[in-house]
Each structure stands twice: as structure tokens, then as C-alpha cells.
């Protein structure tokens, strides 16, 4: 299948990563399905996770169609690129259509990328998972391919300035063995999170980067001696952001 947009974008991304002199350590590429559909479930610590995770699939010449919020598709620059790469828009007010589009893509043999945590984890630990990945895999009759990216938060993450001027950051990517989620979607999601925790532990244990100084521990989870927010503190912050957004929507609705 011709990919007149996706492949040039991949080439451009590789050029950017080379300019940043990112140091990649990728393992588990043999787990990438050579053909057929699959849900690619990725942890989420930075804004570049989708592009970085996709690199692990290129040796098998597979492309991942990511589910992304509709606003990205509405943008005059990113919109045409996202549609050209056949990514899947997610309309939070009409989620059923997005879900069905993903299931259809899976059944047609595509790899569909999702972030089970839904948003970036500011603790850099795994947040609670949504059940969508397991539900899609079960409905489409395809496996889930768990993937963990570690180190991307050092380049660009929520609440911090981009570190594009800091060259040579290590990026660890681990692809896990595909599996068919057992039981219902809740059980399947529990199994997915357990598998991804094992991969995350492996990625951290084998990560080649280290804090540059005492102030450069912000990206290291509190549970392992870093100064990132605890999972509980990060969740409380996210909850406050959601509440503020809901209040603003209610205020706008009242004005109308």
C-alpha cells in the first residue's frame, strides 16, 4: 500500500531525532506482528511517545495508525498530515464512531496505537488504564502489543519546557509479546497493565541515561528516589485540571 504522507513524515522525524542526537536502545522488535491487525498499547510520559514508539515497528515495515483527539485533525497544519497518515480522530462527544473506526481498521489488518492511560502521566508511573484497548482487541479478534517508552519525558513532557537544546538523551523502547486478553474487558485491562509494568521495570533497569546533576532528578519517579510527583499527587493535580475544565464548560453553556 502506498504511503505518500506517512513515510516522508517518518523520514522527517528520523532527521529530527538525529539532529537531537537521541540515543535509542530498542528491544523486542521480534514481537511486532509481521502482518495482521493488533492494538498497540503504549505508556505515556511525553509528547513524542507516539513517534518514538513507532520506530520499533519499522524493521518489520509496519505502520501504526494512532487514535488522537479530534482537535489535532482540525488544525490547519497537523490535520492534513494526520488524515494523510490515516490516523483515527477521537471525538470525545461522539466516541462510538471513533471506537468503531478503530475496530474496522483492526479487522482490516491495521495496527492501531492507543494510550491506555489517556493522558500523560506526570508521575512517570503507570496511571489507571481505560478499558478501550482490551475492548477493541476482543471485538476485532486481534492481539494487544504492549510497548513501553522510557526517557521521552526528558525531551518534552507536560508542564516543562522542551529540552530540544539538550542533545544526546537516551530513549529506551521495549516491545512486549503480543497477547490475546482473556476474560472481559476489565480482566483484559488488568492483564495489560501488569504486562506493561513488567516492561516498564525492565526499561528503567536497563536505561543507559542518568540524572546530570542533583537538579536533574525531576524525571525520575519518587518511588525510586527521584523528585517527580508521586502517583497520588499527580492524580490529584489531574483531577483539579478536569474540574476546572468542567467548570469552564458549564460557565460557557450558561452564557449561551
Instruction: Find all residues with CB under 8 Å of 188, minimum gap 6, and list them.
Output: 131, 134, 135, 137, 138, 144, 181, 182
CA distance 97 to 102: 9
114 phi, psi to nearest 5 deg: -135, 155
pLDDT per residue of the chain (256 residues) written in tens, 0 to 9: 689 999 999 999 999 999 999 999 999 999 999 999 999 999 999 999 999 999 999 999 999 999 999 999 999 999 999 999 999 999 877 678 999 999 999 999 999 999 999 999 999 999 999 999 999 999 999 999 999 999 999 999 999 999 988 889 999 999 999 999 999 999 999 999 999 999 999 999 999 999 999 999 999 999 999 999 999 999 999 999 999 988 998 898 888 6
Closest by CA to 45, choosing from 232, 229, 241, 245, is 229
* List of domains in the chain: 6-219 (3.40.1130.10)
pTM (2 d.p.): 0.95
Instruction: Find all residues with CB under 8 Å of 108, minimum gap 6, and list them.
Output: 37
What the block records as the C-alpha cell of 247 is 467548570
Amino acid at each position: 500500500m502506498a504511503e505518500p504522507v506517512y513515510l516522508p513524515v517518518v523520514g522527517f522525524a528520523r532527521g529530527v531525532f538525529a539532529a537531537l542526537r537521541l540515543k535509542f536502545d530498542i528491544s523486542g522488535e521480534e514481537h511486532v506482528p509481521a502482518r495482521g491487525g493488533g492494538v498497540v498499547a503504549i505508556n505515556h510520559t511525553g509528547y513524542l511517545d507516539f513517534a518514538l514508539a513507532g520506530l520499533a515497528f519499522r524493521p518489520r515495515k509496519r505502520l501504526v495508525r494512532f487514535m488522537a483527539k479530534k482537535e489535532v485533525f482540525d488544525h490547519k497544519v497537523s490535520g492534513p498530515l494526520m488524515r494523510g497518515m490515516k490516523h483515527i480522530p477521537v471525538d470525545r462527544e461522539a466516541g462510538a464512531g471513533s471506537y468503531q473506526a478503530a475496530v474496522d481498521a483492526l479487522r482490516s489488518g491495521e495496527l492501531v496505537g492507543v494510550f491506555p492511560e489517556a493522558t500523560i502521566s506526570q508521575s512517570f508511573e503507570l496511571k489507571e488504564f481505560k478499558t478501550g484497548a482490551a475492548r477493541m482487541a476482543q471485538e476485532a479478534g486481534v492481539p494487544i502489543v504492549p510497548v513501553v517508552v522510557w526517557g521521552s519525558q526528558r525531551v518534552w513532557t507536560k508542564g516543562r519546557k522542551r529540552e530540544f537544546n539538550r542533545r544526546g538523551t537516551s530513549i529506551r523502547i521495549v516491545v512486549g509479546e503480543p497477547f490475546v486478553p482473556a476474560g472481559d474487558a476489565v480482566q483484559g485491562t488488568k492483564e495489560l497493565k501488569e504486562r506493561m509494568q513488567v516492561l516498564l521495570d525492565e526499561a528503567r533497569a536497563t536505561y543507559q541515561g542518568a540524572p546530570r546533576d542533583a537538579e536533574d532528578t525531576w524525571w525520575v519517579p519518587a518511588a525510586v528516589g527521584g523528585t517527580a510527583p508521586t502517583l497520588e499527587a499527580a492524580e490529584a493535580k489531574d483531577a483539579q485540571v478536569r474540574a476546572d475544565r468542567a467548570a469552564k464548560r458549564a460557565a460557557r453553556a450558561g452564557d449561551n
